[in-house]
A = this chain, B = another copy of it.
Amino acid sequence: MLNQQTTLERPTPARQPVRPTPPVASKAFHSSIELMGAPMPFGRNAEIYGENEPAEYVYKVLNGTVRTYKVLNDGRRQIGAFYLAGDVFGLEIGEEHTFSAEAITDCKILVIKRSALIGLATRDNDVARQLWAMTAAELQRAQDHIMLLIKTAQERVAGFLLEMAKRSAAAAEVDLPMSRQDIADYLGLTIETVSRTLTQLEKGAAIAVPSSRRIVLRNRAALTRLNA
């Protein structure tokens, strides 16, 4: 698990756009956890931790993108979330990770000992509240995800693009670090449906797709309307 680069390491030009830190938690908190962790590199597709493994660490993305996921016994994979630079993931209250985590691109990730964080929380109410707030933010995301999964393919894809746009620096343009398969497994669709839906949105002039990993939001109102 934490054995660093277990990757089969395809040499990938790791060009990561720098993203702003989302307001998940206070500055004071983030600067305090910076001190408690060690930055660590992960190669593309490297496993960061596995489902059911002891949750000894909490992670913060410094750059790159991470996916968390579960695989059903017949092989279907569900991606729980994508984590971009600034996002914290892998925080558990129980003793085990409930998802697996992998680097989507080459990443630099801050690795923090959970016990240190928890210890700090017992002494500092602010930290305790921040931990709670992070779990609550995760909950909010999961609930939004549920709402996404009951929608039509168009609505799911539109919702996904709007979500990614909100998290990116450049608001009108989204640089997707993940493959169509990742998107499909996040949205509960197939790659074919994701691809067709993007084509459809492009034909309807809601978006432009200059390259497969780059999406320009041309008509946000149309996307928002689809977002139901």
Name A residues whose Cβ lies closer than 8 Å to a Cβ of B: 70, 72-74, 76, 78, 80, 92-94, 98-99, 121-122, 125, 128-129, 131-133, 135-136, 138-140, 142-143, 145-147, 149-151, 188, 228
Contacts and interface: CB of A to CB of B under 8 A. Distances in A.
Nearest to A73: B228
Contact of A135 (B72, B121, B139, B147): B139
Per DSSP, are chain A's interface residues mostly helix, strand or loop, or mixed?
Answer: helix
When all copies of this chain in the complex are counted, the total is 2
The 6 closest A-B pairs by CB, nearest first: A142-B142, A93-B136, A132-B132, A149-B149, A139-B139, A150-B188
Nearest to A123: B125
Nearest to A145: B146
Contacts of A74: 228
Contacts of A138: 139
A146 B93 contact: no
